[in-house]
Amino acid sequence: MNYIQFFDMRPEVALLAVYLILFMYDLVSAGRYRRLFHPLACMLATAMVAVTLSDRSTFTLFGGMYESNAMIVFMKAVLAFGSLLAILQAHKWLRSEHTFYKQGEFYILLLSTLVGMYFMLSARHFLLLFIGIELASLPLACLVAFDKYRHNSAEAGIKYILTSMFSSAMMLYGISFLYGTTGSLYFTDMVQHITGAPMQIFAFVMFFAGLGFKISLVPFHLWTADSYQGAPTTVTAYLSVISKGAAVFTLFIVLIKVFAPMIEEWQTVIYITIVASITIANLMAIKQHFLKRFMAFSSISQAGYIMLAVIGGQADGMTAMVFYLVVYMVANMAVFAVIESIEWKIRGAVRRETCNGLYRTNPKLTLVMTLALFSLAGIPPFAGFFSKFFVFMSAFSAGFCVLVFIALINTVISLYYYLLIVKAMYMMPNEEPVPAFKCDPYIRIELILCVAGIILLGVCSFVYSGIDSISFGM
Amino acid sequence: MEHTILILALPLLSFLLLGLLGNRMPHRLAGALGTLSLAAATALSYWTAAEYFLAGRTADGTFAELMPYNMTWLPLGDTLSIDMGILLSPISVMMLIVITTVSLMVHIYSLGYMKGERGFQRYYAFLSLFTFSMLGLVVATNIFQMYVFWELVGVSSYLLIGFYYTKPEAIAASKKAFIVTRFADLFFLIGILIYGYYMGTYSFTPPMTELMTAGAVLPAALLLMFIGGAGKSAMFPLHIWLPDAMEGPTPVSALIHAATMVVAGVYLVARMFPLFIGYAPEVLHIIAYAGAFTALYAAIVACAQTDIKRVLAFSTISQIAFMMVSLGVCTGSDPHEGGLGYMASMFHLFTHAMFKGLLFLGAGAIIHAVHSNEKSHMGGLRKYMPVTHITFLIACLAIAGIPPFSGFFSKDEILVACYSFSPLMGMFMSFVAALTAFYMFRLYYLIFWGKSHYEEQLALYRSGECSHEPHKPHEAPWSMTLPLIILAAVTCAAGFIPFGEFVSSNGEAYTIHIDTTVATTSVLLALAGIVLATIMYIRDGSRVTRIVNWALHGPIVAAYHRFYMDEVWLFVTKKIIFNCISRPIAWFDRKVVDGSLDLLAKAVQSAGTLVRPWQSGNIQTYCIWFLSGILIIILVLLYMA
């Protein structure tokens, strides 16, 4: 075996380097050096994003098990950037009493899931893919239960790990059927034996359920609300954006690389799940009063919109999907950062009523939240409008007019509940609004990055055309 | 000609700097920044003009139209796109000179006039924004870019007119200006869209094939565009915003109402002139009649106003109407045969910008000195303000059309054009010109002659009938008198510019020659107007004045109230439109539209309650749903296969 091949995987090597440095630092640092831990982690994560972006070549390794090209690398960089945002957001939480001593574990667990996601994106063999998915899931369970002394967090962790195991079992079951009917686990070999036989349909749905769990599509979404609400807010943000993004991208790749001959079948499956996801999630979201729980349902419906880009399986769909993920990432991270900031101020869960009159005491923070919610709702001229537009366009050009229409109606409903929060912040009277406070400096950096993204991504058309130039499809 | 972009960029940069950081700057720095950046833009404009006109004519005897910049900003179709760029043509270069010159004078003047005002930096930021928008308007390469900057001009004029935002009148005036011009712009936009749809381009020179097949569409589009222009140029009956807009600081009036915003409509018609003359001469004549009526109306109203800025405002309306008439009476594109009006209009635009700027700035100096707009607080000021007095007199002579001041030359060309269109039109405009001389000298005598208000007050104070000592009028500081002197010098000299060499209807050189009959009659009429004004107003309460006031009491009151045009508009909007159209629509919106949306919202809410029990929190149930979901999907798929 040629071990030098390992060094071709530049994103993974960079990630591993950061991982090891932080691990060593955790072991050796003490006293005042401990304070430098967080800045160091942020700097290393930034460097990691830069190194990841620098690689653009197309190649396969290990006999075709691992593939890399410009698009995959870009997606890895997006995930790495999202992790950087999550690390920035974690600062205050990591300095708090119960987490201070296990600060290092947070970075290590977070980066472990990132390694898993990298392999999910690059895997061209089901075994590697499965290992990637598991590597991305198990440490995440630890992160969800990171505040283990808090009842909610522990419960959320348990729920997450149990449903995760359940879905993994389903997926593995499906993969084993696929192996049985095609005789291979390599994507390139399997696609020649996929015919759409009932056994393969069965296997496909099992596999789809496994990834659908990670994307939290209805009906595989039930864990989402409980885990999102219980998990530490930083972890919720990470779950809702990075973990979801990696799973969607992986699903897209598997669909076009392996299940291409079954396009009719998987389009039907995705059709059903899209309609179910956005409608049910929207209906649920209206009734939520806890913002984190509300964001859980919002993220389910957003996942439905992302799937609109997947359904066509074409290159323009991939462009729309990646663009949507980037835009969704900055907006969602901004919302969670604001929620976390308020949480630290009031020392408790944020309800919609908590936000009443926030504008009077914290106008800047309110403005950021408004921009992010507007972007999520898809109001022009913010990036969210453009990303929704491209997603709809790709589904429309694939011939799903009715589906686009249903999604459009749901956009109106989603506008209603996003605006409920905006209304609470600006218009609702409140005797005792959240007092004025200053955000944690790291969160402020994160918010600046996010707001820049929300405003600029839509207007600067080169981002979209840049993604478009490297995307691929069936 | 790449430096032309700087002419636009400098005011924009200065706006951004002053707008974002102005509050942290001392007043002097902010003023210096705004003025210097505009001075640089002015210098560049002159350089551009020199380069452009000295480059010589092309083979066909015209100046080439240059496009140093043009980029597609928003592609809309195969041929249709919205472009942004810079177009240099004789009239746009001429406008660059006019705008930057007057704007620079206003910038310098404001250093003195606005000294110590609250919001000084904001004022300079808005001035820069306004200048930027106006410059962008004149160098637009296509009608859409023109529209974009046209609206920017509207916004920035709104900001400037409402500068004293604590004064209710100023707020009302700024709103009025914005709404009225915006209302007119609606027609402009419709015209642009029709034009773009049928011509397949927003460019000023549409392809020949489209022009041939357009039929009646092009005149309709051009007429709609003219309505937009009539709004900005304050043509009757859309003029109502301009007199009220005098609530802004006086230098702003000089900038907006003399040289820039109000001539935008004239510029628009001039820009589209080849299309008007070639394909819609009848629309051009409609413009002429509308302009002639406006000119007379405004001149009569100006005779009865007592607020000196209002007199100037109506005088502006009247003079702009002169320019419109001049464009409207064109019957051909050859300046020797029916195309003279184009050149005359542009010439008058140029000279009027200078002397009207001078009049407004002079009025500002007077208001600065006596702290009032009303003529009753003035009188006898010539002793106290010699520089203002002389420069104001020069401007009055120019607007009255007395040689050798610039107004004589341009007005003479307009009258010649009118006479060649029809003798009736010529006589009509000659009469308006005489009226102009009358009301301007009425204004002049009321301000500078007669009994001094200050001396009367002083006498009262000394005899003990008045408790506070009156404020003694004084000459303005140099920063205010310098622009007056410069503009007065320009007003004296501008008539001798061989304007036809630079601008003419078909682009070829045209030598201006004075038509002696027309010139003699118009000068005699103007002198008659001045003599009448002298008899009536050189002393307070002369017998002639009393007789005239008694005989024409009704008309004078009506003219003072501007023939009740504002009331007519209020009646139309408040009584007719609000009651007959807005109320029913509001009812429909509240009951039907909102009602159905409320119903939808209720339905969604109850559906939300319906799906809620699903989220039980029980993990076993979750797994069951998970599994049954899989099974349902598989069943659906197998059933479909």
**Could you write out the DSSP letters of every residue in A221-248?**
-THHHHHHHHS-HHHHHHIIIIIHHHHH
- What is the chain B residue with the closest CA to A216? B626
- Among the residue ranges A3-12, A200-209, B393-402, the one predicted with the least confidence is A3-12
Chain B CB contacts of A272 under 8 Å are: 633, 636
Chain B CB contacts of A222 under 8 Å are: 614-615, 621-622, 625-626
Cβ of A261 under 8 Å from any chain B Cβ? no
Tell me the CB-side half-sphere exposure of residue A224, using CA atoms within 13 A. 35
Residue of B608, B629, B634 with shortest CB distance to A219: B629
Cβ of A209 under 8 Å from any chain B Cβ? yes
Amino acid of residue A250 = T
Locus of tokens 């950021």: A368
Q: Which of A109, A56, A415 is nearest to A235 (CA)?
A: A109
Count A/B contacts: CB-CB distance under 8 Å.
Answer: 82
Q: Is the pLDDT of residue B449 over 70?
A: yes
Mean pLDDT of B582-609: 81
Cβ of A198 under 8 Å from any chain B Cβ? yes
Contact B628 A219 (CB under 8 A): yes
Query: What pLDDT was estimated at residue A320?
Result: 93
Q: Which of A170, A386, A395 is nearest to A278 (CA)?
A: A395
Length of chain B: 641
CA distances in angstroms from A164 to A50, A168, A254, A274, A330, listed in the order given: 32, 6, 20, 21, 26
Tell me the CB-side half-sphere exposure of residue B194, using CA atoms within 13 A. 18
Q: Which of B352, B193, B190, B337 is nearest to B277 (CA)?
A: B337
Please enumerate in sequence order all residues whose Cβ is within 8 A of that of A55, keeping only pairs 6 or more positions apart, or say none.
A10, A11, A68, A73
CB B148 within 8 A of CB B74: no
Contact B638 A198 (CB under 8 A): yes
Contact A284 B612 (CB under 8 A): yes
Write out the two tokens for A334: 């901004």
Residue of B601, B625, B628 with shortest CB distance to A416: B601
Q: Which of A10, A1, A206 is nearest to A122 (CA)?
A: A10
Could you give phi then psi for residue A148, rounded to 5 degrees?
-70, -15
Locus of tokens 């000298």: B441
Contact A226 B617 (CB under 8 A): yes
Contact A287 B621 (CB under 8 A): no
Could you give phi then psi for residue A335, rounded to 5 degrees?
-60, -45
Which residues does residue A59 pair with via DSSP β-bridges, in sequence order? A68
Contact B626 A222 (CB under 8 A): yes
Locus of tokens 């600029």: A456
pLDDT in tens, B113-133: 888 888 888 889 999 999 999
Tell me the CB-side half-sphere exposure of residue B388, using CA atoms within 13 A. 29
Query: What pLDDT was estimated at residue A228?
Result: 92
Residue of A219, A225, A283 with shortest CB distance to B608: A283
- Among the residue ranges A201-215, A337-351, B582-596, the one predicted with the least confidence is B582-596
3-state secondary structure (DSSP) of residue A186: strand
Spatial distance between the Cα atoms of A377 and A356, rounded to a whole number of angstroms: 20
Which of A252-266, B376-390, B454-468, B586-600 has the highest average model confidence (pLDDT)?
A252-266
State yes or no: cis peptide before B237, omega within 30 of 0: yes
pLDDT in tens, A434-445: 888 888 899 999
Amino acid of residue A438 = K
In the predicted model, what is the mean pLDDT of chain B?
Answer: 84
- Within 400-419 of A, beta carbons closer than 8 Å to B belong to 413, 416
Query: What pLDDT was estimated at residue B534?
Result: 83
Query: What pLDDT was estimated at residue B331?
Result: 84
Contact B615 A283 (CB under 8 A): no
Write out the two tokens for B532: 């009448």
Contact A222 B621 (CB under 8 A): yes
Please enumerate in sequence order all residues whose Cβ is within 8 A of that of B609, keeping only pairs 6 or more positions apart, or say none.
A287
Query: What pLDDT was estimated at residue B541?
Result: 67
Contact B637 A269 (CB under 8 A): yes
Spatial distance between the Cα atoms of B487 and B364, rounded to a whole number of angstroms: 14
Mean pLDDT of B489-512: 82
- What is the chain A residue with the closest CA to B607? A283
Cβ of B516 under 8 Å from any chain A Cβ? no
Cβ of B601 under 8 Å from any chain A Cβ? yes
Cβ of B619 under 8 Å from any chain A Cβ? yes
Write out the two tokens for A31: 């006293």
Contact A283 B625 (CB under 8 A): no
pLDDT in tens, A294-325: 999 999 999 999 999 999 889 989 999 999 99
What is the span of the domain harbouring residue A155?
3-473
Contact B630 A170 (CB under 8 A): yes
In the predicted model, what is the mean pLDDT of chain A?
Answer: 91
Spatial distance between the Cα atoms of B375 and B562, rounded to a whole number of angstroms: 18
- Among the residue ranges A209-213, B68-72, B178-182, B294-298, the one predicted with the least confidence is B68-72
Tally of structural domains, chain A: 1
3-state secondary structure (DSSP) of residue B115: coil
Residue of B608, B622, B626 with shortest CB distance to A287: B608
Could you give phi then psi for residue A186, rounded to 5 degrees?
-80, 135
Spatial distance between the Cα atoms of A356 and A429, rounded to a whole number of angstroms: 6
Please enumerate in sequence order all residues whose Cβ is within 8 A of that of B288, keeping only pairs 6 or more positions apart, or say none.
B324, B325, B327, B328, B329, B421, B425
DSSP string, A255-291: HHHTSGGGHHHHHHHHHHHHHHHHHHHHHHHHT--BH
- What is the bridge-based pairing of β-strands A59-61 and B66-75? unpaired
pLDDT in tens, A363-403: 899 999 999 999 999 988 889 998 999 999 899 989 999 99
Residue ranges of alpha helices (H) inside B114-263 are 120-138, 143-161, 168-199, 208-214, 217-232, 241-244, 250-254
Tell me the pLDDT band of A1, cut-offs 50, 70 and 90. Answer: low
- What is the bridge-based pairing of β-strands B81-88 and A59-61? unpaired
Which of A127-131, B151-155, B361-365, B467-471 has the highest average model confidence (pLDDT)?
A127-131
Query: What pLDDT was estimated at residue A162?
Result: 92
How far B598 CA lies from chain A's nearest CA (Å)?
12
Chain B CB contacts of A286 under 8 Å are: 604-605, 608
Q: Which of A473, A337, A470 is nearest to A57 (CA)?
A: A470
Mean pLDDT of B160-184: 87
Write out the two tokens for B641: 């296969």
Cβ of A286 under 8 Å from any chain B Cβ? yes
Count of other CB atoms within 10 angstroms of residue B381: 26
Spatial distance between the Cα atoms of B302 and B310, rounded to a whole number of angstroms: 7
Cβ of A474 under 8 Å from any chain B Cβ? no
Chain A CB contacts of B640 under 8 Å are: 268
Q: Is the pLDDT of residue B383 over 90?
A: no
Spatial distance between the Cα atoms of B227 and B187, rounded to a whole number of angstroms: 6
CA dihedral A52, A57, A61, A63 (to 10 degrees): 150
Spatial distance between the Cα atoms of B99 and A358, rounded to a whole number of angstroms: 47
CB A352 within 8 A of CB A289: yes
Q: How many helices (H) and strands (E) does chain A have?
A: 20, 2
What is the predicted ipTM? 0.87
| N-terminal to C-terminal alpha carbon distance within chain A | 32
Query: What pLDDT was estimated at residue A310?
Result: 93
Please enumerate in sequence order all residues whose Cβ is within 8 A of that of A379, keeping only pairs 6 or more positions apart, or say none.
A385, A415
Query: What pLDDT was estimated at residue B77?
Result: 67
How far B629 CA lies from chain A's nearest CA (Å)?
6
Locus of tokens 């009049």: B359
CB B361 within 8 A of CB B480: yes
Q: Which of B75, B587, B297, B39 is nearest to A461 (CA)?
A: B75
Count of other CB atoms within 10 angstroms of residue B24: 9
Contact A286 B605 (CB under 8 A): yes
Residue of A201, A273, A416 with shortest CB distance to B637: A201
Query: What pLDDT was estimated at residue A464?
Result: 84
- What is the chain B residue with the closest CA to A414? B604
Contact A209 B630 (CB under 8 A): yes
Q: Is the pLDDT of residue B624 over 80?
A: yes
Residue of B614, B623, B633 with shortest CB distance to A166: B623
- What is the chain A residue with the closest CA to B639? A198
Q: Is the pTM of this model over 0.80?
A: no
The C-alpha angle B462, B467, B470, rounded to 5 degrees, equals 70
Please enumerate in sequence order all residues whose Cβ is within 8 A of that of B305, keeping only pairs 6 or more positions apart, or say none.
B311, B314, B560
The C-alpha angle B115, B118, B120, rounded to 5 degrees, equals 55
Spatial distance between the Cα atoms of B497 and B409, rounded to a whole number of angstroms: 10
How far A223 CA lies from chain B's nearest CA (Å)?
7
**CA-CA-CA-CA torsion sign (A348, A350, A355, A358):** positive
Q: Using alpha carbons only, how large is chain B's radius of gyration in Å?
A: 29
How far A333 CA lies from chain B's nearest CA (Å)?
25
Spatial distance between the Cα atoms of A170 and A210, rounded to a whole number of angstroms: 6
Chain A CB contacts of B593 under 8 Å are: none
CB B104 within 8 A of CB B10: no
Test mutation, A200, A278, A283, chain B, max B CBs within 10 A: A283
Tell me the CB-side half-sphere exposure of residue A92, using CA atoms within 13 A. 21
Spatial distance between the Cα atoms of B34 and B120, rounded to a whole number of angstroms: 11
Amino acid of residue A123 = A
DSSP string, B79-90: S-EEEEEEEE-H
Proportion of chain B above pLDDT 70, given as a percent: 99
Q: Which of A59, A55, A61, A50 is nearest to A73 (CA)?
A: A55
Locus of tokens 């070829």: B508
pLDDT in tens, A100-136: 888 999 999 999 999 999 999 999 999 999 999 999 9
Residue of A218, A273, A283 with shortest CB distance to B607: A283
Cβ of A217 under 8 Å from any chain B Cβ? no
Locus of tokens 């009848």: B282
Residue of B625, B626, B637 with shortest CB distance to A268: B637
Cβ of B580 under 8 Å from any chain A Cβ? no
Locus of tokens 């106003």: B305
How far A229 CA lies from chain B's nearest CA (Å)?
12
Please enumerate in sequence order all residues whose Cβ is within 8 A of that of B348, keeping only pairs 6 or more positions apart, or say none.
B319, B322, B323, B326, B407, B410, B411, B413, B414
3-state secondary structure (DSSP) of residue B66: strand
